[in-house]
């Protein structure tokens, strides 16, 4: 789920950049440092919403004996964090006999074969390998590129990464038909 969060970041500025537009440099540095990172606490930081003018930069403090100036920056960003119990749409990226992996943006969700309905069986002979319904109307096939709706049943957070597992056994979850 996406949220807008107010976050803080400390940036150190080399004296070479103590010019009129040091704020521009700080903004660029902030974008580079923070966008695309992931923490267990806030999830993936997708985009910083503040620009040069709206960014809250504290008064810089020069670090003794080093000469760098340290700034505390407060900014708003779009973050993405998965929660247990959340239903999300994703694209299947890998299929094997243990289950399949689906990508929800940068997050990978693993759906174990135990949490896939019984009538979908793993077919290793097919190319590409997939989970298919063995009856005549095999409209529900799970292979790389299939769109699926997954309910997240568990998440685990590292310092810099998120892992999630999900199920498609629930009602209204599974392969998404149509555009």
- Which one of residues 8, 41, 97, 126 is an interface residue with another protein (CB under 8 A)? 41
SS3 call for 59: coil
Closer by beta carbon to another protein, 16 or else 172: 172
Name, in order, each residue with C-beta under 8 angstroms of 179's C-beta and a sequence gap of 6 or more: none
Closer by beta carbon to another protein, 70 or else 86: 86
- Which one of residues 62, 74, 87, 98 is an interface residue with another protein (CB under 8 A)? 87
Closer by beta carbon to another protein, 59 or else 177: 177
Q: Is the dihedral of CA 157, 41, 45, 4 positive or negative?
A: positive
CB 121 within 8 A of CB 113: no
Q: Is 19 in the site for another protein (CB under 8 A)?
A: no
SS3 call for 131: strand
Q: Write down the least CB distance from residue 22 to another protein, Å.
A: 19
Instruction: Give the whole-angstrom CA distance, residue 56 versus residue 74.
Output: 5
CB 111 within 8 A of CB 142: no
- Which one of residues 23, 70, 143, 170 is an interface residue with another protein (CB under 8 A)? 170
Size of the site for another protein (CB under 8 A): 42
Q: Is 40 in the site for another protein (CB under 8 A)?
A: yes
- Which one of residues 46, 68, 165, 175 is an interface residue with another protein (CB under 8 A)? 46
Which of 89, 85, 99, 80 minimizes the C-alpha distance to 37? 80
Instruction: Give the whole-angstrom CA distance, residue 137 versus residue 78.
Output: 42
Q: Return residues touching another protein (CB under 8 A).
A: 1-5, 31-32, 35-38, 40-42, 44, 46-47, 49, 78, 80-81, 83-87, 89, 91, 103-106, 149, 152, 155, 157-159, 170-173
């Amino acid at each position: 789920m996406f949220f807008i969060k107010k976050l803080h970041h400390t940036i150190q500025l080399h004296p070479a950049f103590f010019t009129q537009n040091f704020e521009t440099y700080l903004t660029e540095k902030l974008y580079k440092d923070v966008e695309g990172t992931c923490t267990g606490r806030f999830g993936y930081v997708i985009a910083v919403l503040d620009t040069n003018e709206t960014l809250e930069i504290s008064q810089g403090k020069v670090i003794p004996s080093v000469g760098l100036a340290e700034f505390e920056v407060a900014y708003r960003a779009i973050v993405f964090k998965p929660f247990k119990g959340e239903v999300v749409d994703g694209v299947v990226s890998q299929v094997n006999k243990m289950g399949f992996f689906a990508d929800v943006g940068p997050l990978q969700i693993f759906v174990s074969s135990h949490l896939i309905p019984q009538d979908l069986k793993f077919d290793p002979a097919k190319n590409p390998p997939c989970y298919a319904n063995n009856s005549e109307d095999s409209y529900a096939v799970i292979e790389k590129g299939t769109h699926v709706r997954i309910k997240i049943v568990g998440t685990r957070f590292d310092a810099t990464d998120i892992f999630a597992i999900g199920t498609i056994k629930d009602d209204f979850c599974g392969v998404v038909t149509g555009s």
